[in-house]
Structure 1
Amino acid sequence: MLEIRHLRYFLAVAEELHFGRAAKRLHISQPPLSKRISELERQLDVRLFHRLPTGVVLTDQGRAFLPYAQDALESVLKAESVLRRHSSERVGRIRIAFPPDTSAGLVATVSRGMWENGCDIEVLEASTAQQLDMLRTGAIDVGLVRHPYSAKQAVSSPALYKPLGVAVSRDHPIASRTTVDLADLAGQPLLIFPRDLAPDLHDSMLGACRKHGFVPQRIRYAARLVDALLVLEKSVMLTSAEATSLWPDVVWVPLTGEPLEWRTSVVVSDRPTGNDMLERTAALILEALVAQEGWRHLPSTPGLAPGAVEAPRPGAPTG
């Protein structure tokens, strides 16, 4: 079995080109070093060095193996460093809640970043309304909520946004349009998330629809199987382009002039923590939202701002 010490010994001999000097560098005697190199050659079934009276030189196979051995040992050393830091410098556990429509890639990116920053996390799924309650009671430390909302005992990040468009089935008459006005949707059935997931957001979206001339024929509530319902019921849904990217039977059409948008912010507890990890967590989530899910920055002062954040332009996510 190939061991880490085999790589260390091979690299030492490859760099010194002499068993004696390599053994001295490794603080071992020469016979064990020669034995381990022979073991390595038997395991790989190749000769790595030509033994000469004055030292050694790499064979063609040895030169080919050298960069892979260097990369492998470097990876092991990095992993050891991370594990040592994990065992000695962990700063505790932070509880983070994400809305149900959060991508797996975003959660993985945040989890990896927190680990590298020396912090463990507990991930929960919760709607905006649930997150605000959990934040208020201390059940979570960080949340990712949709606008508009009112958060007490919390600090909010600057908002990110996504423009909304219309999602319809491929055979819907709107599917062939390059853009569509909200007023053009008048009389269409609307598919929307249940109000209890984000009450302020729900009401804000329906108000904006009425303001722009779209009064739905009927309203259908759903948080799952949305793409199937769009196809079966010929409904329309206001959502982002990214949300429909995995729905092969659904077409996304931009709204003319981008009159509607989703906005999202990271909220953190305003309770004293004794370190800056909550703010670093918020920054990491915002960065991942831009990189993983296509959210965009609004002109805004960087950092976290106390108090409630309201969105003048409403949106309609499922969180």
Structure 2
Amino acid sequence: MSNSSDKVIITCAVTGSAHVPSMSEYLPLTPQDIKAQALEAAEAGAAILHLHARNPEDGRPTPAPEVFQQFVPAIAAETDAVINISTGGSTRMTLDERLAYARVVKPEMCSLNMGSMNFSLHPIAAKMSSWRFDWEKKYVEDMEDLIFRNTFRDIKNILTEFRDYGTRFEFECYDVGHLYSLAYFVDIGLIKPPFFIQSVLGILGGIGSDPENLSVMRSTADRLFGRQNYQFSVLGAGRHQMSLVTMGAILGGNVRVGLEDSVYLSRGVKAKTNAEQVRKIRRILEDLSFSIATPAEARQILGLKGMDNVSI
């Protein structure tokens, strides 16, 4: 499953749940904005759209299916990009809340964090001079003392349930240990090739953004799974986004960009849209003689069931 054809899948994570509105005025919050930015990112070359929902009144992350329904069907009607529904949600949501919309639509792909962790952006709070909404400061500060929960039993139950739906996963691995957790589920038969590993670098609580760590994640995955059995992808948080994802492609992987992962386009310059980041990484990759995978090619590479089998 290595990228021998030089086809690189671009995933765009459109809004996420970690960044708060005060970090960027361009972060899409309303269903209309999420839809518009997702479609523009797909047009720019993103084959996969990784989606979260937010309360349109104040930008707070929400798991509510009725909010997802305000933009997901509209996106599906206007693009053939793969729609990837997050099961990560946020540390404030229960597991059932995080799974609620994915259970409704049974998508081609969901994201799945491969372990519990203290995912935190709390140092950013001290750098913020003002807040757009009154919930944001406490939301960021409280990350210091909150655990994102995905136990082995949680993961087993998700894999078992969604296997019946034919949904495949973006396995988000925030550390080397998450790769070994993934290997455990491969060993007991709950995960089968081809599987899609999203290597996440630069989040406090996970593996750091050092380039050497990316090589460690890639070589560890090769030892555990055999390169022919999985697709590798790279997510670089914050200012490390473009350099790390470019390195990931050079190592034979795929890439993920988007305002969920970084609100910047370059040093000191905020990205005004998700599509700006997609266009930038596409240009870099094409200048390096890589070809960008279409949604149809991404479906074939990842063994997805196709939109005809989704309940959107």
Normalised by the shorter chain, which TM-score bucket? under 0.3
TM-score by length of 2: 0.23
Look at both structures and tell me which one has the larger radius of gyration over its CA atoms: 1
TM-score by length of 1: 0.23
